Amino acid sequence: MPEKTYDHNQIELKWHDQWGSDPDLYKAEENSSRPKYYVLEMLPYPSGALHIGHIRNYSIGDALARYMWMRGYNVLHPMGWDAFGLPAENAAIKNNRPPRDWTLSNVEKMKKTHSRFAFSYDWDREVTTCEPDYYRWNQWFFNRMLEKGLAYRKQALVNWCNICATVLANEQVVDGCCWRHEGTPVEQRALEQWFLRTTAYAEELLNDIDKLEGSWPDRVLTMQRNWIGRSEGAEVDFEVVGHGPVRVFTTRVDTIYGATCMIIAPEHELVAKLGADEKAQARKMIDARANQGPGDVLKEGFNTGLRAINPFNGESVPVWVGNFVLMGYGTGAIMAVPAHDERDFEFCTQYGIDIRPVIRPVDGTLPELPLKVACGDYGIVENSGPWSGKPSADARREMAAFAEEKGFGKAAITYRLKDWGVSRQRYWGTPIPVIHCTTCGVVPVPDDQLPVLLPRQVAITGKGRSPLADVPEFVNAPCPKCGAPSLRETDTMDTFVDSSWYFYRYCDSKNSTAPYDAKKIDYWFPIDQYIGGVEHAILHLIYSRFWTKMMRDVGLTTIDEPVKKLFTQGMVIRNGAKMSKSVGNVVPADDVADKYGADTARLFALFAAPPEKDVDWIDAGVEGVYRFLGRVYRYATRNIGTPGGDGSSDAKVLRKAHQVLQKVTEDFDSRWHFNTSIAAMMELTNDLYAEEAKISATAMEQVITIFVFLLAPFAPYLAQEIWAELGNEGPVFRQKWPAFNPDLARETDVEIPVQVNGKIRARFTVPTGLDKAALEAAARADEKVIAALEGKTIVKVIAVPDKLVNIVVK
RNA sequence: GCCCGGGUGGCGAAAUCGGCAGACGCAACGGACUUAAAAUCCGUAUUCCGGCAACGGGAGUGCGGGUUCAAGUCCCGCCCCGGGCACCA
């Protein structure tokens, strides 16, 4: 066949049309005899256009999906849209266009790009989270959580972002600022809010991390462990004279005889009982903290004049208010042991409060005053009544037990993790399905009245309260219990609710009577491979784990963890920042596809670096991959169906082909270093060019066929085109992945370097597998080696078969 | 401060088990083809020293030590970069 030039547009358009006319092409089988494989990439926010960062994510998942298909699995590979969220509202304000219109038109555009890139999704299962047939189930789950006491409402200090004009979850606060607005400090506001009781699962979320060990990246597991932040300690009541007990939390109850004051947070309820001056001072601290960005904060405090009694030794100590004590952790009050805690030391030194060492190092003496630094180490407890002389660990345990026995405390565990605040004062989200009735109180909207529909025509102001509050048709509703005119809840749910369970919906996306059929979940779950950005290590991935456990306890599934294996791909960086629309440094996927084709863009996204690594996007590198595909195509077309050469290089190129097949197969099955898989294919291409004239027609066809398979998971269009050129029918990714032949792949000869004292002095070629003795003999017979050994005494000879010979001389 | 990653040519990287450092690609340079250019094909390329050259010699994976016949890889101590957590009691 005459050589054809690589016209990516023509090839890709042809197969795109052909594949597009077959809706069942990438369909997962409902009743399959094949083993199941659920591969999932994190669903995108429909911002308007796919960029190279998306392409990298989907190219990894798609290569895997295609490979697993060829390996004979029943693959579920779905895609959807995380369609609720703030950008739609901002766009609506800017363009005067309803968020739904804007969102759905973005979905259409991005779906076109998806299809152009030939990502193999089962679009039949598409999920769009802003549509009622999806979000009604958010509401339904909310009702289940209300029944279980896992959803509750309380007045609480919440994180407030002024620009977003809404509340943020704890997880959405970064360095004291809004996660979407880096420079905007989060304010604390007291609001009535809905919370989901994630803390009920703190212990299980932490313990089950062990089950994920080895199949989730360590980095993610560590981040989650830190986030849950379990500390073991004790709670102890100090009687505040004239006011009653105030409880403190400490991890070092063994140091309690060294407590020289109590410090409470400025938000602590005891402050309300102080004088006007003190209250004003505490208020100032709270405000100062609200306006503070990240960084070091100066310790500040004042003496309340109150006294508290240490229940262990009956000592009366002063009560202070301190700006470094957090209301949101522990009990909001601490006992200060300046001798053994760095922060207490700093504070007490500053205000001249007593310092009293009570822990002696195991092999030393009690620290002498004045101290230069606090000593937080464990040791032997001293000057501590009946516990003196005991090791810290024992004293901790026994003192907590003692407190419990005497009724003034107990052993306690505290978590950094807090309940998930889900109320948002915004329009574009799932309406929280409750009604406020003056007589019945908070009444959930009954399941059979769901969904509570989000009204379509709403004026979005971006000011402080939910726009839904200004829609009378929405707000005014009868109480489901007593029928009296009542008011609907106008807050909407955090969008992370949507993404906490969407992957279950893919298994049964059209179910109109339940979120899904449990039998279908049983078949497909857990997700065999989840692929996404490490930036979701905490938010999305903790919420998803929580949601699964909640679903299990509600009786909707039997599994504990949704994701078996997690892969976090590196970010695509451009101009020093993660590629994203909000930063404005995106390379639109369509631009690259226009110029070089989808195959090139996909291949380059994988070739630039190993997939877990961050990669700087540099346009220049794309050329090389494009040239490679062109070389492959021209070579294939000019050699298919030609008489061929004398076959003297057949063995050589077949060997190389099987070696590359082995390498690519192993890369898929283990560490996914597709950059080296692709490099191996380039090597094979270079060999094929070099040996072209000496390959027989039969060998040529065999090698090109192998090449097509190698290419199929990465560059589906070109693979399909050559597959057809070879005279084959049907989609190549429905073929069976070829097994490599280890005999054909085996190298016959190997070059052995000979070192003398570690310096290479000679090389020779021997058959592979030559044993030590023969290798040593061959080395000693080599002229150059003889010359190098002249006049030296051999101390030792190391011969490693197929690797090297090292002769140690004196 | 604590906990994870990482540091290799001009650049992206490779070296999976301790065994030839720099595969593959980009950029660069040289050649072939062309009236010319593009495209394509072939070749050169870590660096320093000596040589017209074939070649020979030395150094080299952030820094300093160590183990070993042999270290990018293992051990100890540092430096730098990226990420996470951070008055969390």
- pLDDT category of residue A462 using cuts at 50, 70 and 90: low
Q: Which helix (H) or strand (E) holds A436?
A: strand A434-437
pLDDT at A76 over 80: yes
Strand B nucleotides, any atom under 7 Å to a protein CB: 3-5, 11-16, 19-21, 23-27, 39-43, 58, 69-71, 82-89
Rg (CA), chain A: 34
Is the pLDDT higher at A217 or at A298?
A217
pLDDT at A196 over 90: yes
Quote the CA–CA distance of A358 and A379 in Å, as a whole number.
9
pLDDT of residue A352: 92
CA of residue A808 to C1' of nucleotide B77, angstroms: 31
Q: Which of A505, A454, A425, A463 is nearest to A82 (CA)?
A: A505
Contact yes or no for A56/A63 (Cβ under 8 A)? no
pLDDT of residue A92: 83
Quote the CA–CA distance of A307 and A241 in Å, as a whole number.
6
- pLDDT category of residue A296 using cuts at 50, 70 and 90: low
pLDDT of residue A191: 83
A218 touches strand B (CB under 7 A): yes
Sheet containing A572-574: give its strands across: A577-578, A572-574, A615-616
Look over chain A and give the mean of its residue pLDDT values, rounded to a whole number: 91
**Could you tell me how many residues make up chain A?**
810
The residues of A between 301 and 360 with beta carbon within 7 Å of nucleic strand B are 323-332, 334, 341, 343, 346
How far is residue A374 from each of residues A259, A336, A367, A381, A710, measured CA to CA in Å?
13, 12, 10, 15, 63
Phi, psi (degrees; rounded to nearest 5) at A737: -65, 130
pLDDT in tens, A231-257: 889 999 999 999 999 999 999 999 999
- pLDDT category of residue A574 using cuts at 50, 70 and 90: confident
Phi, psi (degrees; rounded to nearest 5) at A762: -160, 165
Is the pLDDT higher at A455 or at A218?
A455
pLDDT in tens, A23-67: 889 999 988 999 999 999 999 999 989 999 999 999 999 999 999
SS3 annotation, A516-562:
CCHHHHHHHCCECEEEEEHHHCCHHHHHHHHHHHHHHHHCCCCCCCC
Quote the CA–CA distance of A570 and A57 in Å, as a whole number.
9
A721 touches strand B (CB under 7 A): no
Quote the CA–CA distance of A520 and A525 in Å, as a whole number.
8
pLDDT in tens, A694-720: 999 999 999 999 999 999 999 999 999
pLDDT of residue A754: 87
> SS3 for A695?
coil
Quote the CA–CA distance of A698 and A705 in Å, as a whole number.
11
Q: What is the complex's ipTM, to 2 decimals?
A: 0.94
pLDDT in tens, A113-159: 999 999 999 999 999 999 999 999 999 999 999 999 999 998 877 78
- pLDDT category of residue A316 using cuts at 50, 70 and 90: very high
Q: Give the mean model confidence (pLDDT) for residues A556-585.
A: 86
* DSSP character at residue A766: E
pLDDT of residue A33: 92
The residues of A between 771 and 810 with beta carbon within 7 Å of nucleic strand B are 796, 798, 800, 803-804, 806, 808
pLDDT at A749 over 60: yes
The residues of A between 385 and 414 with beta carbon within 7 Å of nucleic strand B are 414
Quote the CA–CA distance of A315 and A798 in Å, as a whole number.
75
The residues of A between 612 and 641 with beta carbon within 7 Å of nucleic strand B are 613-616, 618, 620-621, 623-625, 627-628, 630-631, 634
pLDDT in tens, A258-283: 999 999 999 899 999 998 999 999 98
Tell me the nt nearest to A679, Cα to C1'.
Answer: B24
Is the pLDDT higher at A548 or at A671?
A548
A423 touches strand B (CB under 7 A): no
Structure tokens at A132: 């009622």
Tell me the nt nearest to A296, Cα to C1'.
Answer: B87
Quote the CA–CA distance of A262 and A238 in Å, as a whole number.
8
Q: Cβ–Cβ contacts within 10 Å for residue A696, how many?
A: 16
pLDDT of residue A293: 47
pLDDT in tens, A591-628: 999 999 999 999 999 999 999 988 888 777 899 999 99
CA of residue A757 to C1' of nucleotide B63, angstroms: 26
CA of residue A740 to C1' of nucleotide B50, angstroms: 50
pLDDT in tens, A630-678: 999 999 999 999 988 899 999 999 999 999 999 999 999 988 999 999 9
Quote the CA–CA distance of A805 and A754 in Å, as a whole number.
5
pTM for this model (two decimals): 0.92
A96, A491, A190, A470: CA torsion to nearest 10: 60
Q: Give the mean model confidence (pLDDT) for residues A287-296.
A: 60
Quote the CA–CA distance of A89 and A351 in Å, as a whole number.
50
CA of residue A13 to C1' of nucleotide B38, angstroms: 25
Share of chain A above pLDDT 70, in %: 99
Q: Cβ–Cβ contacts within 10 Å for residue A27, how many?
A: 15
pLDDT at A294 over 50: no
Is the pLDDT higher at A536 or at A304?
A304
How far is residue A289 from each of residues A180, A679, A783, measured CA to CA in Å?
20, 54, 80
pLDDT in tens, A753-804: 888 888 888 888 888 888 888 888 888 888 888 888 877 888 888 888 888 8
All residues at 6 or more sequence positions from A178 whose CB lies less than 8 Å from its CB, including other chains: A161, A163, A164, A168, A172, A184, A186
Structure tokens at A609: 């670096």
Q: Is A252 exposed, middle or buried (0-12, 13-18, 19+ CB in 10 A)?
A: buried
